[in-house]
Structure 1
Amino acid sequence: NPDHKTPGVKDLVYLEPSPGFCEKNPRLGIPGTHGRACNDTSIGVDGCDLMCCGRGYRTETMFVVERCN
């Protein structure tokens, strides 16, 4: 997909079809992606577009107040 980031030198690239990662598959040790946090602005493997597998996702805005020295 041209909209996704090109794999980097540390990314694992399969030359043959790999098992689906979206749904849980205990037999293969695949935890699935349901309930995982994703990055709404990322085009990489942590991005919601890839990680949510077309299921859609909810966004949450968090405001963090920290003390600075």
Structure 2
Amino acid sequence: MSRPLAEIIQNNWRQLAGLARIVWDELTLDELIKSEGDVQKLTTLVQQRYDMPRDDAQKQVMSFCERHRTS
């Protein structure tokens, strides 16, 4: 049985934070690391920094997570 996506992302977040920094270049690496790969924290950061609706930010975050999932 595969692990939930959120768990996979959080377990690999140190490596993924650098990739997230490329996608969301207005966020600092420190902010990304502190988010711990938590989807809600990351969504809030993206929403606030890019001044976008929460639904749009969440779609971006989920798309990033899906693209970078590893089992």
- Give the TM-score taking structure 2 as reference length: 0.22
- Give the TM-score taking structure 1 as reference length: 0.23
Larger relative contact order, structure 1 or 2 (CA cutoff 8 Å, min sep 6) = 2
Larger radius of gyration: 1
